Structure 1
Amino acid sequence: MKVLILGGNSGFIGSHLEDKLNDLFDCKFVSMRNFDWMSENFSPNCVINLVGKAHDFTGTASESDFYYANFELAKKAFQIFIDSSADVFIHISSLAAIEEIEAPKALSEVAVYNPVSSYGKSKRDAEEWLLDQTLPPAKKLIILRPPMVHGAGDKGNLNQLYKLVSKGIPYPLALFKNKRSFLSIENFCFFIEQILLKKDQMDSGIYHLADDETLSSNEIVKIIKEETGWNTPVLPLPKRFVRWISKVGDRTTLPLNTWRLKKLTSNLVVSNKKIKIALAIQRLPRTAKEGLRDTIRSFQENNS
């Protein structure tokens, strides 16, 4: 099987997919910054769109930056699929398209859109545009919504929390109890592999990806401490006081603001039932805790 991966020639997820898929399929990882590769003779059976912009810890990205990467390029990627011999288009969206902060119950694929950031809104608009297109006969559209994906090379929120704990700064959120879904990079790659192998038995539509188990922020900090041996203090500060500090952070350079507090303490759980039924998956390669430990070890190796 020939697989064309758009936006997959660099970056965290693309590098792991390359390692995983190259042994199983005839893969071509290309950039969307130039299209010289289109002149080459490569007729894919499947197109995967990894193009997108997510993390912006500098605060310099504009709304138009997110819309270009996550919406405009998604439209171009879809047109490449339509013009190709491929019968399946796998679009990597994000849970942020429907929810970014909190959900009292496990989110299914029919949840109402509720993005709040430019990132989430651009992902939502891309999904809506794709779903509104008329697919030619024998072609399928599969939209995948993962929560935060982590692993070696990840520079996202988990890496930021790791760095915070590494500085020995007391962790002040011990009294907050929450559950959040994550996805280890190994489980992400496993889902992609299984979709490619079983694409004929899948229907077009949206599918949620996630580890089978949830993790709390307290569990994450505990595992970081266990894997590293750091003795970072954990402080059970009163919730009201922590919320007041976060509001101060909104107006200053404190590392904790109301947005980060919600991301660290709210419940955001995803149901992966639909994709597991479609692919007849009984068990993922990694449990949530195993995947997290792998990631923490990779952070250690990178900083050693």
Structure 2
Amino acid sequence: MLHVLLTGVSGFVGRRLAHTLIESRKVQVRVSARNSNSSIEGLAPFHAELTPSFDWMLALQNCDVVVHTAARAHIMKEEVVDPLAEYRRVNVEGTLNLARQAAAAGVKRFIFISSIKVNGEQTPLGKPFLVDDAPAPEDAYGISKWEAEQGLQKLAMETGLEVVIIRPPLVYGPGVKGNFASLIQLVKKGLPLPLGAIHNRRSLVGLDNLVGLIITCIEHPAAANQVFLAGDGQDLSTSELLRGVAKAVGRSSRLIPVPASILMLAATLLGKKPMAQRLLGSLQVDISKARDLLGWEPPVSVEEGLKRCFVSNDETV
């Protein structure tokens, strides 16, 4: 039986992954978190800090695979003076510190949850990101993930540690936060939204689909030293997404058909251009590599994934 160390167990992806691994009984799971009180089904986490000098050796004893979900995530209201330096300290130096110790401890495989932001922020309509596209991160978070990927790949060549990199787009599911949660609340309140005529295409990944891909990468021999893009395999326009959310919550969608060009102009004048780009622009990913190399298929449809946003994590385990 494989022994797996899962970091970031108190996070959105980490908590769900821990539940699924424990329930499967196929691996022996050890978890870590900054908050040692974040117990999962009675499993006490190892207290850990994602810093350049933290000692991970106790947690890494007899470990076969590390699944690294912990990170400094995108922060809407940044308070530090130099955000990029802080992202690098945690997401780059902290990650590489863990990976170097994992290699020294004899860990075989290191699975790194990166971000589609490594590829960039937008794609032309109908031209999805491919796994081999030249990286083009734009913000501090994306830059830090790309630099961590490069460091891990270098370490893999030096030590023989198998590195698997997964780049998900926006992840949704029970307990989702951020902009997706804000959209859900607007739909639940029945407020009219001027987003009924948006014909973009965006790739998302349901929480259970991402967890399924991670679990496949834990054991699949062909995953070693590969990069995968994650997704549901079904792209949606913003209008379709909002209609899907409304259906999942049992409400009628109240979408007003306002042309995207007018919305973008208004958002630019109001200083909200980045938010408008996320709502109106396209970001598509090609998941064919995971399908072809691993034989993986997203197990949960978008419709079912949206329904699961409105039940607790415990109910969907």
Match of residue 280, structure 1, among 295, 300, 303: 295
Instruction: Give a deviation string over 1:15-47, Cα, whole Å, max 9, x none.
Output: 101101123210111133185763368311111
Q: 2:265 aligns with which of 221, 244, 263?
A: 244
Q: d(CA) in 1 for partners of 2:201 and 2:49?
A: 38
Q: Does 1:33 align with 2:54?
A: no
Structure 1 residue 297, shift from structure 2 partner:
4.5
Identity of aligned residues (%): 25
Aligned to 1:211: 232
From 306, 311, 315, the counterpart of 1:292 = 306
Distance 2:226 2:193 in 1: 41
Match of 2:43 in 1: none
Deviation of residue 228 (structure 1)? 2.3
1:159 aligns with 2:181: yes
Q: For structure 2, list consecutive stretches of 5 or more residues without a partner in the other structure.
A: 34-47
Residue-by-residue CA offset, 1:109-154 (whole Å, 9 max, x unaligned): 1111111111111111111222233535653111111111111121
| Residue 90 (structure 1) aligned with residue 102 (structure 2) | no
- Residue identity in the other structure for 1:30: S
Question: For the Cα contact (< 8 Å) 1:2–1:43, is it kept in 2?
Answer: yes
Distance 2:13 2:212 in 1: 12
Q: Secondary structure at the match of 2:212?
A: helix
Distance 1:136 1:227, change over 3 A: same
Residue 5 of structure 1 contacts residue 48 of structure 1 at CA under 8 Å; is this kept in 2? yes
User: What TM-score do the two structures reach when normalised by structure 1?
Assistant: 0.87
Cα distance, 1:296 vs. partner? 4.0
Deviations 1:68-119 (A, max 9, x none): 2221211112112211221111111110011123344121111111111111
Matching residue of 1:268: 283
The Cα RMSD (Å) is 2.3
The answer to whether the Cα contact below 8 Å between 2:100 and 2:155 also exists between their aligned partners in 1 is no
Distance 1:232 1:219, change over 3 A: closer
> Hey, what's the Cα distance between the residues in 1 that align with 2:230 and 2:245?
24
Structure 2 CA distance, aligned partners of 1:124 and 1:73?
Answer: 14
Find the partner of 1:44 among 51, 63, 70.
63
Aligned length: 291
Residue range with higher mean Cα deviation, 34-43 or 59-68? 34-43
**Structure 2 counterpart of 1:3:** 4
- The equivalent of 2:273 in structure 1 is 258
Flag structure 1 segments of 5+ consecutive residues without an equivalent: 251-256
The equivalent of 1:108 in structure 2 is 130
Question: Is the 2:209–2:298 contact (alpha carbons within 8 Å) kept by the matching residues of 1?
Answer: yes
3-state SS of paired residue (1:135): helix
Aligned to 1:56: 75
Which residue identity is paired with 1:293? K
User: Where does structure 1 differ by over 6 angstroms across 4 or more consecutive aligned residues?
Assistant: none
Contact 1:49 1:77 in 2 (8 A): no
SS at match of 1:128: helix
Say whether the 8 Å CA contact 2:260–2:280 is kept in structure 1. no
Are positions 1:20 and 2:39 aligned together?
no
